[in-house]
Amino acid sequence: MTEILRVNGVSKHFGGLMAVNDVSFSINAGETLGLMGPNGAGKTTLVNLITGKYLADSGNVQFMGHDITRMSPYKRCKLGISRTYQIPRPFPELTALMSVAVSALYGKDRVNQGLEDAATEATHYLEFCGLFSKRNVLGKDLTLYELRGLELARALATTPKVIFVDEVMAGLNPGEAVKAVRLLERAKEEFGVTILWIEHVMAALMKAAQRVVVLHYGKKIAEGPPQDIANDPYVIECYLGSCHA
Amino acid sequence: MELEIKREKIVLRAGTQKFEWHIEPRYWRNPFIYIGILLLATVLVYFFSPQTLPTLVEANLLAAIAIPLGWMTVGTGRMNFGPQFYIGAGGYAAALCSIHLGWPPAVTLLVTLVVGLVFGLLMSPLSIIAGGLYYTLLTLLFPLVFLEITFIYTDIFKGDTGLSGIAPFLSGGSYTGNQLMICLLSLFIMLIYMFIVDKIMRSKFSASLAAINDDEEVAEAMGVNVKKIKIISFAIPAMMIAVIGWFYAHYYTTLSGISYLPLSFMLKVLMVSMIGGRVQIYGNVVGGYFIAFMELFLISVIGDMATVMFPVILLILLLSLPEGLFGLYRKRRYREYLPTLHVRR
Amino acid sequence: MLTTIETMLVYTLLLGSLYLLVSIGFSLICGVLRIFHLGYAYIFVATIYLTWMFFHTLGLPLWLSIILMIVVQAGIAIGIYKGIVARYVKMEEKIITGLLLIAMIAQEAANKWYPVQAAVNLPTTIIPGSLVIGGTEISYQLILAAAFGILVTVFFVLFFLKTKTGLAVRAISYDINTSKIMGIQVEQIYMFIMVVVLLPVIIAMLMIAPVWAVDPWMGWGYMTTAILISVMGGLGNIRGTIIAAFIIGLTHAFMAFVIKEPRLMNLAALVVVVIMLLFRPQGIAKTESLW
């Protein structure tokens, strides 16, 4: 298992609040790493730091041999990092097809790709996510489940090496949730991506993740296979209450 | 760079990038008809009422300002409320070169292009650092400050009275003949701008413009180099608008900041955009002609009250037309590039 | 004899308070209604010329003219709110264009019926004469206007911090949807704000009219300053606006007395604002709220 992403002691504070406090971990190629923690633990902030929305106050991030701590988000995307958003952020005035085509066009520097070629590629990803019939629907008119699928299609279209998936199942009914999880599994098989999965639903992480990292108040409190995490007394205390940061 | 013309496509390859445009002759019928109408109208006006030629020139120029402004709006994701700054910059550059250095219009055109590009590049970082409302306010203020500068440094800019003695486009020959030539030149400029912006909006570049317009942050996360595109989308339309300043300078042979820099002119341009449905390029042409002719109509019919009635009528139009005049006609297509100003902090 | 620095400081206080009076309404509208009231300039014009119309053309006594003018302006403000702002909630460009058009109409109408030659002159002097401080002479009217500036600001701050309506306004400026759910009458508060912001400008104009010249285009000078101050202070934040008003006052006083180039005042203020935005894009305000 080769390591493709390594996060070393990153911290980020907003005013007086330490959102992420000296977190270190690494991701190996081809695995699914779960990221857990109560609300406000800093999971999304950590992902924002790695994908480039915020710049870390300290620490560094190494990806495939590059130091990406200070890189702009679009350069990180071209290197192979992609993400979905917890509250879906589609392009409201673009159709599903055009949204994914944008990713296909700009996700990587490709040779000889025109708009049509990108649209053709986009249909492939849309069809994988089951959205082919909705390709001409504007982003603002899609349902939540379709939006989640669009987020994934858009992230996949940049042909990433790592995808940061942020709470795929929030707001979906049980049937849709199961389909969403299976979609992620199929994406891994078909496109060979590595996934870092932020999730609250333990059951899904138990089955899908090889390793889990748990954050609490911005600090990493546990890391390991899901079974060990589920039995870790400190983690249980944090989730059930009476825990100090 | 190579250009390949296949049976139904034009393919432009630059380095490793490929740009394609489809050639669909069945869709050419309408544009050719409209261009024909515009040309015919110009010629007819020349024969039957040559004193209306200046209005046609004004209409063409207004449209030629609104078209690159549409590109700038989509590409930066914000509305520039001070496009007339570049008209002033380009116009004064051309005027000063013509008066003090005696250069002919063709040479001052090059100067204007350079000046427009320089100012556009200098001010483009504003579109990156300033958010929605701040950007609007600052772009609003720049022309007003420029106007103040023209008053302050009166020896150079001749504030109130304006510069005069700029070389005209054509001298000698019949007056109306020259007017016709100039009118055709303005039409030509407008059509070129229309062509350029239309081709950009139909190429793969437009996907990134639409993405930035909708959600900059997500676009950047998907690999779009937002900063580069914003700078291009600011600087090049700025250059294009500066050329209109050049045209005004040589057309009227006098140039005074007070005609173009205050808000009254900006409102005209804004209304051309609004009536034309903002980024709809063909709509801007309709808007330009509408505003120019309405002004003519108001001044000749109502005379004195025109300055008051003009904004009143514009207000009524604004309130009663949801998508501009052009929107009444156009069917809704699924790709729309309409920017929205959100009060972001 | 006061040195240049001291004259500059005196003028900083004076100009800062005056500008505060003029800009606080603009900042409030931006922060609460979340729209750009680019037609703010019409209030300046309307104050002077409506009063003049009632006073001079219709021959009514001054106090009645002023009251009528306030009533008419309140009506116009509510009309503008209902006609333009409420109709185009999501299409900000339409709102901005509409408000700009209103400002243009007001100015053109004023220019048509009372051009500069008509010698509009409002006898609203409360304290005639002037105070001599050091090398400069400052009219008492201006000092009174500056004092009003501070008073009005204090009044607004107390209002927003201590009263129930003020609390409602602050809630709206944070989050409009939650405010609606909590039962706040958003429409009424909006209309209230649009009328309330008229008052500082009316006071300012009536105080200043006898001292500084009036003409139909005067609104834009003040509005430019109001815009610069609001942008620098962080839109809608009263604390930031206060600080920004004095910084801009300082800049203008500096340009006028130390550098001795009063014509470059606005340009200097613009440069200062742009530089500040480069370092702190959200303005001076620490929070996004009203206070």
What single-letter amino acid sits at C239? R
Q: Contact A114/B213, CB-based, under 8 Å?
A: no
For residues A52 and A168, state if they share a domain. Answer: yes
8 Å CB contact of B145 and C270? yes
Q: Which of B243, B236, B242, B245 is nearest to B121 (CA)?
A: B236
- Say yes or no for a CB contact (<8 Å) between A158 and B218: no
Ranges of residues in chain C with a pLDDT under 70 are 1-2, 88-91, 117-121, 124, 134-135, 287-289
Output the pLDDT for position A242. 60
Q: What residue numbers bound the domain in which A123 lies?
A: 90-159
Distance set, CA B277 to CA B70, B95, B274, B324, C94 (Å): 10, 33, 5, 5, 11
Joined together, the tokens standing for residue C185 give: 């009458």
Q: In the prediction, which pLDDT does B242 show?
A: 95
- Helix-strand-coil split of chain B, %, nearest 5: 70, 5, 20
User: Number of folded domains in chain C?
Assistant: 1
Of C220, C231, C267, the CB nearest to B138: C231
ipTM (interface pTM): 0.87
- Establish if B218 touches chain A: CB-CB under 8 angstroms: yes
- Quote the CA–CA distance of A190 and A29 in Å, as a whole number: 15
The domain total for chain A is 2
pLDDT of amino acid A85: 92
- Chain C CB within 8 Å of residue B218 CB: no
Establish if C289 touches chain B: CB-CB under 8 angstroms: no
Structure confidence at residue B173 (pLDDT)? 75
In this structure, the answer to whether residues A212 and A133 fall within a common structural domain is: no
A106 with B208: Cβ contact below 8 A: yes
Question: Is residue B174's pLDDT more than 60?
Answer: yes
Name the percent of chain C lying above pLDDT 90.
2
Task: Check if the beta carbon of residue B44 is closer than 8 Å to that of residue B51.
Answer: no
Question: Are both A147 and A174 inside the same structural domain?
Answer: no
Residues of B in contact with A108 (CB under 8 A): 223
Residue of A nearest to B338 (CA): A93
Which B residues, 279 through 308, put their C-beta within 8 Å of a C-beta on chain C? 304-305, 307-308
- Chain B residues in contact with C105 by the CB 8 A cut-off are 308, 311-312, 315
- Tens digits of residue pLDDT in A8-62: 999 999 888 889 999 999 999 989 999 988 888 889 899 999 999 999 999 999 9
Residues of chain B contacting C176 with CB distance shorter than 8 Å: none
From the CA of B252, how many Å to the nearest CA of chain A? 42
> Is the model's pLDDT at A107 over the cut of 80?
yes
Nearest residue in chain B measured CA to CA from A47:
B221
Tell me, what CATH number does C146's domain have? 1.10.3470
Same-domain check for residues A76 and A197: yes
Q: Tokens 């063409």, residue? A: B60
For residue A158, what is the nearest residue in chain B, using CA coordinates? B222
Residue C58 CB coordination number (10 Å): 11
Is residue A212 one of the residues assigned to a domain? yes
CA gap B147, A142 in Å, rounded? 49
pLDDT, tens digit (0-9, with 9 covering 90-100), for B250-270: 888 888 888 888 888 888 888
Inter-chain contact B214–A93, Cβ cutoff 8 Å?
Answer: yes
Instruction: Answer for the pair C160, C170: CB distance below 8 angstroms, yes or no.
Output: yes
Residues above pLDDT 70, as percent of chain A? 98
Assess if residue C287 is contained within a domain. no
Instruction: Tell me the residue length of chain B.
Output: 345
Residue A162 · residue A50 · CB < 8 Å: no
C219 inside domain: yes
Judge if A42 and A8 occupy the same domain: yes
A109 CB contacts (<8 Å, ≥6 apart)? A78, B16
- Asked if C260 reaches chain B (Cβ–Cβ under 8 Å), the answer is no
Give me the pLDDT at residue B14, please: 81
Window 100-159 of C, Cβ < 8 Å to B: 100-102, 104-105, 108-109, 111-112
| Residue A169 and residue A215 in one domain | yes
DSSP string, A165-232: EE-TTTT--HHHHHHHHHHHHHHHHHH--EEEEE-S-HHHHHHH-SEEEEEETTEEEEEE-HHHHHH-
Which 3 state secondary structure label does DSSP give B290? Answer: helix
Q: What's the sign of the alpha-carbon dihedral A219, A222, A226, A229? A: negative
Are A150 and A172 found together in one domain?
A: no
What is this structure's pTM?
0.84
Residues 6 through 65 of chain B touching chain A, CB cutoff 8 Å: 11, 13, 16-20
**Do A207 and A185 share a structural domain?**
yes
Among A53, A78, A112, the residue with its CB nearest the CB of B18 is: A112
Q: B13: pLDDT confidence band, cut at 50, 70 and 90?
A: confident
Q: Which two tokens stand for residue C145?
A: 């206007």
Same-domain status, A70 and A175:
yes
**pLDDT given at position B62:** 93
Is it the case that residue B340 has pLDDT exceeding 50?
no
Q: Identify the domain containing residue C21 by its residue range.
A: 4-279
C267 with B149: Cβ contact below 8 A: yes
What is chain A's length?
245
Top-confidence residue, A50 or A113: A50
Cα–Cα distance for residue pair B85/B120, rounded to 1 Å: 10
Interface residue of C30, C105, C273 to substitute, partner B, most B CBs within 10 Å: C105
The beta-carbon neighbor of B315 closest among C101, C111, C264 is C101
d(CA C257, CA B13): 60
Neighbours of chain A (3+ CB pairs under 8 A): B
CA of A162 to nearest chain B CA: how many angstroms apart?
Answer: 13
| Residue numbers in C near B274 (CB within 8 A) | 93-94, 97
Average pLDDT for chain B: 82
Q: Report the residue from B13, B19, B224 with minimal CB separation from A106.
A: B224
Instruction: Give the containing element (helix H, strand E) for A5.
Output: strand A3-14
CA separation for the pair B309, B237 (Å, rounded): 31
C77 touches chain B (CB under 8 A): no
Beta carbons of C270 and B141 less than 8 Å apart: yes
Do the Cβ atoms of B136 and C277 come within 8 Å?
Answer: no
Contact A172, A9 (CB under 8 A): no
> If you count residue pairs, one on A and one on B, with CB atoms under 8 Å apart, how many are there?
104
Q: Chain B interface, mutation test: which of C93, C112, C260, C284, most B Cβ atoms within 10 Å?
A: C93
HSE of A190 in the Cβ direction (CA atoms, 13 Å)? Answer: 15
Tokens of B336: 């729309």
Query: How far out from the chain centre does Cα C238 lie?
Result: 13
Which residue in B16, B204, B227 is closest to A114 by CB distance? B204
A245 shares a domain with A191 = yes
In a 3-state reduction of DSSP, which class is residue B152? helix
Whether residue A173 sits in one domain with residue A75: yes
Tokens 């590595």 correspond to A194
CA distance A52 to chain B (A): 8
Q: Which of A106, A129, A159 is the last residue of a domain?
A: A159
For β-strands B254-255 and A32-36, DSSP reports them as unpaired
Of B274, B318, B341, the CB nearest to C92: B341
Average pLDDT over residues B209-223: 89
